[in-house]
Amino acid sequence: MNGTWLTLGTVGLAAAVSTLGRRGSTNATEKRWTDYAKKHLVGRKIVRARYLDNEEAEHLGWYHRSVLLELDDGSIVFMSKDDEGNDAGALFGVSATGEELTFPVLYR
């Protein structure tokens, strides 16, 4: 994906993201990971939101701390800057009213 959709602003970003699920994909890898995400996230309720504490970040070998979400089944999810878990990552989104949401990384 090229980076141009990130520069569209809130309305453009929301529109671009909302079309992602409608494109369809025959990519087996994408299907496998989409199914994985659905299995672990769909229907779950976020019961707690906080940032990793310094000890948790240090345990992961990270210099930064990301937001952590605790789900109703006891699972926790937190953001990493890449899929190798090399450091904390920011979380971005768009609210139902179109407000841009940013949950930045914090330094330890």
Q: pLDDT band at 20, cuts 50/70/90?
A: low
Query: What's the predicted TM-score (pTM) here?
Result: 0.73
pLDDT in tens, 44-70: 999 999 999 999 999 999 999 999 999
Return the domain boundaries, the chain: 1-42, 44-108
Average pLDDT over the chain reads 85
Can you tell me whether residue 1 is helix, strand or coil? coil
pLDDT band for position 16 (50/70/90)?
low
What 20-29 contacts at long range (C-beta under 8 Å, 24+ apart), as own/partner pairs, is: none
CA distance 108 to 97: 32
